[in-house]
Amino acid sequence: MNLIGTPAKRHGAIVLAVLALLATSGCGRGITSTPGEAPNLEKWVAEVRARPAPPLEQIPLMQQFETFEYAAQAMRDPFSTAFANIDEGSGPRPNSQRRKQQLEQFPLDSLDMVGTLGLGANVIGLVMAPDKVTYRVQTGEYMGQSDGRVTAVHEDRIELVELVPDGAGGWLERSATVALEDK
């Protein structure tokens, strides 16, 4: 029985053995060194340690702040409740006893005037709310979330007066308009 086989197989086995020998002989170069000979890495580390250290950046100077003396002790405290003593009985006030109307649940800027019904002094405004329902509006009714009372209904707009807080416990009247949109 022939262990190596045919001449072509023998030739292939020899080539494979030579390639394996060449591949493993290149792996060990540069790892081992003879005693007394310093590798390149050790030389480089020694050179870097011998160099002088680079200078450090200057520490930034601290900015000097001006001192401030608070001298408003004699003035009125803006957070005190001194405004609460203002006479709340005078001026316009929302009527808390009045029953809220349907259009008062929507902000005024979300309401759109879509048309009118009638002629002359008996004009009724048609207003579409965000719920896509069209409501009839007459003078004296309320709409918007700021107690807006309708003062006039015209063919192209609805005029109203809203009550808004003045920041000091009272109320101010503010005029507003809902105009007919051109489509």
Model pLDDT, residue 78? 74
The predicted-structure confidence for 137-165, as pLDDT tens digits, reads as follows 999 999 998 899 999 999 889 999 998 88
Instruction: State which residues of the chain have pLDDT below 50.
Output: 1
Model pLDDT, residue 1? 46
How many domains, in total, are found in the chain? Answer: 1
Asked if residue 34 belongs to a domain, the reply is: no
Distances (CA, A) of 138 to 119, 125, 126: 13, 6, 9
Which tokens in the block code for residue 133?
A: 């329902």
Q: What is the CATH number of the domain that holds 163?
A: 2.30.30.830
Asked if residue 38 belongs to a domain, the reply is: no
Asked if residue 87 belongs to a domain, the reply is: no
Asked if residue 174 belongs to a domain, the reply is: yes
Asked if residue 141 belongs to a domain, the reply is: yes
Residues spanned by the domain of 146: 102-179
Asked if residue 46 belongs to a domain, the reply is: no
Across the strands, what pairs with 127?
A: 113, 135
pTM over 0.85: no
Asked if residue 154 belongs to a domain, the reply is: yes
Model pLDDT, residue 131? 92
Asked if residue 113 belongs to a domain, the reply is: yes
